[in-house]
Structure 1
């Protein structure tokens, strides 16, 4: 049985991706990458400024959480699918300090790649050791990664699996007595050609021409549990990515513990 290219880490807002260095066959060398999305360092300052909500800093908890997952999974690379930081402009002292301490705490041999999100500003100018790629994404072996706030690069659409952030998918679950709770969720399903085929930059992409099956799309939950998100099973909620929901065919939702909820629009 083939090993999945992307597999969620149980009970965590993170996944392990197998990034082949060659053509994608099992004989080639592969790199294991931990994927997370929407870390939003410094979000507490943003909540105070934007909404007047005073939340004590959870910077240390976020850092320890990520370090714990890294220790558990022992990847070769960390890939952040955008919005490593929260402020859209220049970060304040607390936010910059949070990220500087985080990077000082990471294993020294760990490579880190950031797919630049709409919140990441000029992060590469003050974290010079961080590899930053455009938000439209890149292809890493058979896995394409992008943030999700813009249309994916052509090379991303030619991958077998595409992983995005930005959306912060959540589901609202109700119990028998009318109580409710909101939980972060994964969205997974094959891409649909609607919208993509109409863009000239994607002309000749194999699956859009019917030459192969479409890639699977994985919409990752936000790492930061304060970041809010799109309630995918609540009427009237709008998706943020320009290719959703039309670009996701037969998408299913999963909780972080792996519980399969079925079609996200029928929960």
Structure 2
């Protein structure tokens, strides 16, 4: 996002990840890792795919090393299957969490797939509930599947996952492809909390940053396709004029007009 990015949250160019300045700590933020997705797709749809568990873990650990982060924050959906993890999915989670926590502490913001994970790995993770929370003084985090805590409006920037935003881009020969994308823009406080009426303590509303999914196999919301509905209860209303960016930092402009 270059100069347009929040000074507290800077995307890692070419990656579905960002670095956040939490005051005394530097954190790597990712969303929607969906560990065990291949297991889930096998049960849900009968689709057989080779596991990319090792590649996901190595990529995440490389990003921690490259960014010199002091902490990993997962903005929900660390796991894919809802409920207590078992079998191959649990094995992937155990190996992933051990590899990360050998390097840095790990925080999980509970997503709609994470109730069983938070309980199973309570000794290994710092857990923030589904309503979200504020890290440091300026960076708020939530997953986005439920209405957030109004205290998030007191931060300078709110980071969320859940949507897996994608854009459909046409090519020169009439075909199209899907690309993961960031969404960002000024948040509308009245649309962000369930009962409205909360404005936050800052002089201006926070910026909202919707993270692309870390897992490239997890699909998502095609934000520039007519008829697509958002997953978060407060979107798209809470982002009335947001821009879309590709992972390489290319600004596509207002996401509704891409």
TM-score of Structure 1 vs Structure 2, range by shorter chain: over 0.9
- Tell me which residue corresponds to 2:108: 114
Listed as ranges, the matches of 1:84-99 within 5 Å are 84-99=78-93
Asked if 1:184 is matched to 2:175, the reply is no
User: Can you list the C-alpha shifts for 1:206-265, whole angstroms capped at 9, x where unaligned?
Assistant: 46xxxx211000000000000000000000100000110000021000000000000000
- Tell me which residue corresponds to 2:13: 10
Asked if 1:136 is matched to 2:139, the reply is no
Separation in 1 of the partners of 2:198 and 2:172? Answer: 50
CA RMSD of aligned residues (A): 1.8
Separation in 2 of the partners of 1:191 and 1:77? Answer: 26
Q: Give the deviation of 1:9 after TM superposition.
A: 0.3
Separation in 2 of the partners of 1:32 and 1:198? Answer: 31
Asked if 1:256 is matched to 2:247, the reply is yes
Which residue, 219, 227, 230 being the options, matches 1:236? Answer: 227
- Tell me which residue corresponds to 2:155: 159
SS for the counterpart of 1:237 is coil
Asked if 1:79 is matched to 2:40, the reply is no
Structure 1 residue ranges (4+ consecutive) displaced by more than 2 angstroms after TM superposition: 106-109, 193-198, 202-207
Larger mean Cα displacement after TM superposition, 67-76 or 186-195: 186-195
Separation in 2 of the partners of 1:169 and 1:248? Answer: 13
Unaligned runs of 5+ in 1: 21-29
| Cα distance, 1:192–1:98 mapped onto 2, change above 3 Å | same
How many residue pairs match? The answer is: 253
- Tell me which residue corresponds to 1:247: 238
Say if 1:194 and 1:246, in contact at 8 Å, map to a contact too.
no
Separation in 2 of the partners of 1:205 and 1:92? Answer: 41
Q: Give the deviation of 1:129 after TM superposition.
A: 1.6
Normalised by the size of structure 2, how large is the TM-score?
0.93
